[in-house]
């Protein structure tokens, strides 16, 4: 009889999922374990987050297609959706690369892993603090410097990027700093 899979809603992980990643039973993710590969993933993730944040500056490629029956259809660029999904995929890979240790609850980790997770979250907290400070500075000085005023910019891309950064920062710190995971 298989034991029920416990879901940790607050952490966003499942017991079986974390145990499977910790046990090396799925070899298809082995390529993510070397620190060099993890660091490449972190760098790509950082580029992805910056791309999402700069979403308001992407060409919209908004085109009016006039159909033969007189109606017209507006076609928008799918670039934004593509980049956001790419960052979502990167976030999933990042979590796998650190065996979900950055998000796992105490009861699924040993004492060293708990310490590594807590340290990652502490550094991520500092990093997010500086990031928010930079964003507040941009909000404060941006209008005077005529920055961040493209047509239709409501700050939504910046907000999406900040949420992604908040969610992925502990895993990014751990993937970059920890030698063996």
What residues make contact with other proteins under the rule CB under 8 A? 22, 109-113, 115-116, 119-120, 123, 173-174, 177-178, 180-181
| Contact between 91 and 45 (Cβ < 8 Å) | yes
Q: Which of 39, 135 has the CB closer to other proteins? A: 39
CA distances from 139 to 23, 50, 57, 90 (A): 46, 16, 16, 28
List, in order, residues 6 or more apart from 86 with CB less than 8 Å away: 48
Provide, rounded to whole angstroms, the least separation between the CB of residue 120 and other proteins: 7
Q: Which of 106, 110 has the CB closer to other proteins? A: 110
List, in order, residues 6 or more apart from 16 with CB less than 8 Å away: 5
Provide, rounded to whole angstroms, the least separation between the CB of residue 165 and other proteins: 18
Rounded-to-10 torsion of CA 150, 153, 159, 164:
-60
Provide, rounded to whole angstroms, the least separation between the CB of residue 177 and other proteins: 5
Provide, rounded to whole angstroms, the least separation between the CB of residue 117 and other proteins: 9
Provide, rounded to whole angstroms, the least separation between the CB of residue 91 and other proteins: 21
Q: Which of 77, 115 has the CB closer to other proteins? A: 115
Q: What string of H, E and C letters represents the secondary structure of 110-174?
A: CHHHHHHHHHHHHHHHHHHHHHHHHHHHHHHHCCCCCCCCCCCCCCHHHHHHHHHHHHHHHHHHH
């Amino acid at each position: 009889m298989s034991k029920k899979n416990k879901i940790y809603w607050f952490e966003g992980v499942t017991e079986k999922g974390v145990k499977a990643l910790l046990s090396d039973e799925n070899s298809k993710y082995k390529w993510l374990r070397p620190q060099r590969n993890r660091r490449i993933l972190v760098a790509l993730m950082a580029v992805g987050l910056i791309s999402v944040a700069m979403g308001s500056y992407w060409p919209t490629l908004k085109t009016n297609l006039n159909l033969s029956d007189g109606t017209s259809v507006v076609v928008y660029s799918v670039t934004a959706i593509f980049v956001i999904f790419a960052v979502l995929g990167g976030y999933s890979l990042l979590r796998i690369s650190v065996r979900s240790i950055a998000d796992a609850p105490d009861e699924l980790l040993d004492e060293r892993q708990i310490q590594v997770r807590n340290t990652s979250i502490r550094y991520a907290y500092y990093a997010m603090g500086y990031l928010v400070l930079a964003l507040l500075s941009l909000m404060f000085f941006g209008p005077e410097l005529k920055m961040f005023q493209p047509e239709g910019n409501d700050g939504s891309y910046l907000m999406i990027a900040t949420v992604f950064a908040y969610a992925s920062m502990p895993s990014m710190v751990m993937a970059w700093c920890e030698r063996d995971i």
